[in-house]
Amino acid sequence: MKLEQNEANAKYDAFLMDMDEQLEWLEEEAAKHAIPLDGTPADFENLERLFDLMAGSQDKEFVTKLSITFARHLGEIVRLNNGGQWRLSQEDKSSPHFAMPVIVSHSPVAGLEFAPILVMRSYAIYRKEGTLRRAVQAQTHPRPLDLSGLAED
**The pLDDT of residue 141:** 87
Q: Which residue, among 130, 120, 115, 144, has the nearest Cα to 41 in the 3D structure?
A: 130
Could you tell me how many residues make up the chain? 153
Q: Where are the domains of the chain?
A: 2-141
Exposure letters 18-52 (e unless 16+ CB within 10 A, then b):
ebeebbeebbebbeeeebebeeebebbebbbebbe
CATH 2.70.210.12 fits 2-141, yes or no: no
Cβ contact 44:132 at 8 Å? yes
Cβ contact 89:95 at 8 Å? yes
**The pLDDT of residue 119:** 97
Specify the pTM.
0.91
**The pLDDT of residue 145:** 75
**The pLDDT of residue 97:** 82
pLDDT along the chain (153 residues), means of 10: 79 96 97 96 97 95 97 97 94 86 92 95 96 95 79 60
